[in-house]
Structure 1
Amino acid sequence: MEALLASTLVVAIAEIGDKTQLLAIILATRFKKPVPIILGILVATLFNHALAATVGYWVSDFLSGAWFKWVLAVSFIAMAAWALIPDKADDEEQKEPGRYGVFLTTAVAFFLVEMGDKTQIATVALGAKFHSIAWVAAGTTLGMMLANVPAVYLGEAATKIVPLKYVRMGAAAIFLLLGVWQVAELTGLLK
C-alpha cells in the first residue's frame, strides 16, 4: 500500500506542468473530445508505466548491492533538481487527429512523449525502491490521471489554477525527501 500511495503522490505532483500535461491541454483544446483523450492517456500510461515499473523491478533484482541503493538515492535527488526545470510543449500545428482518431492519436502521442520523461524515470526508480510492479504502475497511473483529467476538462485554464513554479517546487521536495529517505535507510538512521 505504501508503494501505491507514494507512487500516486510523486507522479501526481511531478506531472503538473510536465510536457505530457501540456500535451493533454493541447489535445483538449484542439479536439474538444475529453472522453477519448482521457482513455488514450489511461491506456498509454498503463503500458508505459507498467514497462517502467518492470524495468525498475528487474534492475533491483540484478543490482541489489549497497552501491545500487546509493545510485537509487542519488537518482531521486537528481529528479528533485530536474523537477524544478519547466517543461515546454513540443508540438506541431495539427488541428485534426488524422485517420486514427482522437483516442489512438492521444494514446500513441502520450506513450511516445512519456518515454524518458521525468515521471517515467521516477516510475523506474519507484519500481526499484518498492520492488512492486503492480502497485507502482497502479499508483503512477493514478497520479497521471489525477493530474491530467482536470487538465483535459479545464484545458488552458488548468495552467492558471496553481502557479506551476510552486508545483515544481513541491515535486522537487517530494523527490528530495525520497532521496534523503533512501540515504537514511542506507546509513542506518531509520533503523
Structure 2
Amino acid sequence: MSLVNTKIKPFKAQAFKDGKFIEVSDADLAGKWSVFFFYPADFTFVCPTELGDVADHYAEFQKLGVEIYSVSTDTHFTHKAWHDTSDTIAKIKYTMLGDPNHEISTNFEVLRPGQGLADRGTFIVDPNGVIQATEITAEGIGRDASDLLRKVKAAQYVASHPGEVCPAKWQEGEKTLAPSLDLVGKI
C-alpha cells in the first residue's frame, strides 16, 4: 500500500544537528514542509555520497522553507562520530535522526525485515504532515538531490495552485497543466 496522501505517524527520536543532540518529534514538523531521507547505515559507501549531495543543496531547500531529516537505524551518537570523522558528512547542517528502535523506519515502511536497516527511501511531507511523494531505491542506487529539489518545488506548486498539475520534467517557471475534458487525448 502506498503512503502517498497519508498522514505521518507520531514519533519521537534523538538527533544530531549543529554539533548538538536534540529531540525531534512529529509535532516539530507542523506547519512546515519536510523531507525524510532514509538510508541504510552510517560509515558505508553510497550513503555518504547521497547525504553529501543533499548537504550541497541544503540552502536551496531552506529557501523553500523545507527541513531535511536524514534517518538511519544508527544512534545519534553514531551520527556525531561519522560527522566528526568524514569530510563529506561534516558538511551536513540538517537534522540527522537516530532510529535504533526502528520506530520511524517502521512508520514509513522502509525497515528491511530481519536486517535492522532502512531502505533508501525519500518522503516529501507537506505542512499538514501528509506525505505527498515517495521514492524507494535498491541498495546500490543513489538518489539525486537536484531531482528531489525539483519534486519539492512541484509539490509546493501544486499545493498552492489548486486545479493545476506539473507535467513530466517540470521545472520551476515552466508551464503547468489544468486537467479538463478538453485535454483528454490531446497531450
Task: Give the TM-score, by structure 1 length.
Answer: 0.28
The structure richer in helix per residue is 1
Higher relative contact order (CA closer than 8 Å, sequence separation 6+):
1
Task: Give the TM-score, by structure 2 length.
Answer: 0.28
